[in-house]
Amino acid sequence: MQLEIKKNILAASCPLGISTKEYISGNTEEVFDELAEVFVREGWGVKVMPTIENKAIFNTPENKSKKDKK
């Protein structure tokens, strides 16, 4: 899950907790789900919503798979 980190903190970098990583305030980081839930609950991070590009739907290509029946 993508999080915007709100507090400098040293935490696990994988679900097994084998290694740690320093999460720096102001950075956007990919955090595994279990830890991300803790970050959000404790106020150490905020979930980043993915951006969706604004795509035009007006100039769509013609569907050539259909043949005109007359």
Sign of CA dihedral 23, 26, 32, 35: positive
**Rounded CA gap, 11 and 37, in Å?**
13
**Has residue 66 got a pLDDT over 70?**
no
Tell me, what's the pLDDT at 51? 74
Residue 61 pLDDT class (50, 70, 90 cuts): low
Confidence of residue 15 (pLDDT cuts 50, 70, 90): very high
Residue 45 has pLDDT above 60, yes or no: yes
Residue ranges per domain, the chain?
2-47
Query: What pLDDT does 55 receive?
Result: 63
Beta strands in the chain (DSSP E): 2-5, 9-12, 20-23, 28-30, 45-47
Cβ-contact 8, 25 below 8 angstroms: yes
- Answer for the pair 39, 62: CB distance below 8 angstroms, yes or no: no
Q: What is the model's pLDDT at position 41?
A: 97
